[in-house]
Amino acid sequence: MSSLSLYDTLSRATTPFTPLVAGRVSIYLCGATVQAPPHIGHVRSGVNFDILRRWLIASGYETTFIRNVTDIDDKILHKAVHEEMPWWAVAMKYERAFTEAYAALNVMPPTYEPRATGHITQMIELMQRLIDRGAAYAPGNGDVYLEVRTLTSYLTLSRQNVDDLQSSEDAEETFKRDPRDFALWKAAKPGDPSWPTPWGPGRPGWHLECSAMALTYLGESFDIHGGGLDLVFPHHENEIAQSESAGYGFAKSWMHNAWVTTSGEKMSKSLGNSLQVEHILKTVRGIELRWYLGGAHYRSMLEFSHAALEEASTSFRRIEAFLYRAKEILGDTPTRVINETFAAAMNDDLAVPTALAGISESLRLGNIAITSDDKGAIQKHANEIRGALSILGCDPFDPAFDSANASEDLTAALDGTIQLVLAQRASARDRKDFESSDAIRDGLLALGITIEDTAQGPRWSISRTESSN
RNA sequence: GGUGGAAUGGCCGAGAGGCGAGGCACAGGACUGCAAAUCCUGCUACACGGGUUCAAAUCCCGUUUCCACCUCCA
């Protein structure tokens, strides 16, 4: 069996993964800044790293997965003014929206989900340490800055030169010693929320929370730090600067997911609400959206289109239909088995698209096995397909998706009813009264019930009701 | 200006020196009373121009087009 290799943004290479502590993996993922409802780009990140996590767990690692919520930030404060709500109500509202979106897509809840505002003490301790070590300074107005010029290394992740950075226009009116210095802490302005510190009341800058929380939950160094590609600079560079200046090892490797784009462009620029998760979920089920988002390689741009989303839904339903049929024939839910083809693909930097080709092959063989009534082969392929889908978080038998379980009684009653109707149809067909038998089939179809005549007799299923867009 | 990424068949999307990834769509066939589902067959591409090589979608040089980041974006 192959072993896992992952691409590391820092070294720009795919190398064998070796955890700091044998058998254990620690991951910190930059989660949401809760200032707006999630769009599908946000949850792609969640899905991509959820697949990583599931694969690590399946590979036998004990996994600690921290995904933060940044619940204090300029944009949240602006939004609070705009929505005429307290900033903390805005943050909570959108945090819930993210939680719901993650749940709809079967993204496992993190081991812990720390909020920035719950870690002010840790941030103050970290700033004090940075000041003591001469890496940070408090100019006296209440701000605290990290002094970039004192760093022995900076911008190693994005491989830029400090001198090449375009400095911000408003640099002259700040208290910075150098325009590239960044704020660890911001002095309170009138009306802003603030917390007391040795340097005066204020609130966290953007980057500090992640360094403080990673230290709190994962320790001085940990295995993998993840996030969206756009966080490489400045967010992750500044996290590195803070944590390393404080004397901590910090992240051993870095993983970044690519964006979902529209018309070749990154989403945020011209985003209406049409690409919000909530809206997309009116056209496809969560499991189908996940299949779509997780199907592309995590480092490839995913060019969103409704047609492509529909295609993903179609192909997923085909796989799902096979699993349900297999379950009917076998009389038992398939188990989860990881075959070597799938494992090899996943071990190669989570090559999901390659893994998908393997699933297609299993599906074909599984369908052939159904035709030839080879129960052993049906079992084998159904198990392997379910095993693969479970890693991708798209297992139709997962309680998160398997709505049939929730209404067993109703399903049984409906099945009995349909069987009565199908008996009528069968006798019509025996009489060669196809007009009547087709009328029954069409009537059921109009109610959203699809009838298929198989070698094992007629089979019914509920068609998905298109709520359209 | 600096740093990265991308261009593959009607469409989506992998791969990274040699053996046609895969899917969707479409066409033909098998099966079927007809459908549906399923299977089989067909369609066979790597932005452009050079070069290296026995062999290039893949490596090298150049070009074009597009995208991103460069201090508060997943």
Residues 311-370 of A, Cβ under 7 A from nucleic strand B: 311, 314-315, 318, 321, 351, 353-354, 356-357, 360-361, 363-364, 367-368, 370
User: Does residue A115 lie within 7 Å of nucleic acid chain B, judged by its CB?
Assistant: no
Residue type, A316: F
Residues A363 and A315 sit within 8 Å (Cβ to Cβ): no
pLDDT at site A166: 63
Using the predicted structure, report yes or no on whether residue A202 has a pLDDT greater than 60: yes
pLDDT band at A45 (very low <50, low <70, confident <90, very high): very high
**Where on strand B do bases come within 7 A of a protein Cβ?**
1-6, 11-15, 21-25, 32-40, 66-74
pLDDT at site A464: 56
pLDDT at site A176: 86
Q: How far is the CA of A156 from the C1' of B46 (A)?
A: 34
pLDDT band at A468 (very low <50, low <70, confident <90, very high): very low
Q: How far is the CA of A400 from the C1' of B45 (A)?
A: 40
Note the pLDDT tens digit of each residue in A94-122: 999 999 999 999 999 999 999 999 999 99
Percentage of chain A exceeding pLDDT 70: 93
Using the predicted structure, report yes or no on whether residue A353 has a pLDDT greater than 90: yes
Q: Is the ipTM beyond the 0.90 threshold?
A: yes
Protein residue with the closest CA to the C1' atom of nucleotide B40: A368
Residues 8-27 of A, Cβ under 7 A from nucleic strand B: 12
Average pLDDT over residues A178-202: 91
First to last CA, chain A: 45
pLDDT at site A403: 62
Using the predicted structure, report yes or no on whether residue A465 has a pLDDT greater than 50: no
**Mean pLDDT for all residues in chain A:** 90
Residue type, A469: N
**Where in A18-158 does DSSP place strands (E)?**
24-29, 62-67, 136-137, 144-146
Note the pLDDT tens digit of each residue in A272-317: 667 899 999 988 999 999 999 999 999 998 888 888 998 899 899 9
In Å, the largest CA–CA distance within chain A is 95
Using the predicted structure, report yes or no on whether residue A174 has a pLDDT greater than 80: no
| Those residues with Cβ within 8 angstroms of residue A40's Cβ, 6 or more apart along the chain or in another chain | A260, A267, A275, A276, A277, A280, A289, A293, A304
- Nucleotide closest to A32 measured between CA and C1': B74
Average pLDDT over residues A377-384: 96
User: Does residue A228 lie within 7 Å of nucleic acid chain B, judged by its CB?
Assistant: yes
Using the predicted structure, report yes or no on whether residue A439 has a pLDDT greater than 70: yes
Residues 410-469 of A, Cβ under 7 A from nucleic strand B: 429, 434, 437-438, 441, 450-454
pLDDT at site A179: 83
Q: How far is the CA of A304 from the C1' of B61 (A)?
A: 35
Q: Which domains does chain A have, with CATH numbers?
A: 5-257 (3.40.50.620), 277-392 (no CATH), 407-462 (no CATH)
* Percent helix / strand / coil, chain A, rounded to 5: 50, 15, 35
Establish how many alpha carbons lie within 13 A of residue A44's alpha carbon, considering only the half-sphere containing its beta carbon.
26
Average pLDDT over residues A362-388: 95
- SS3 label, residue A348: strand
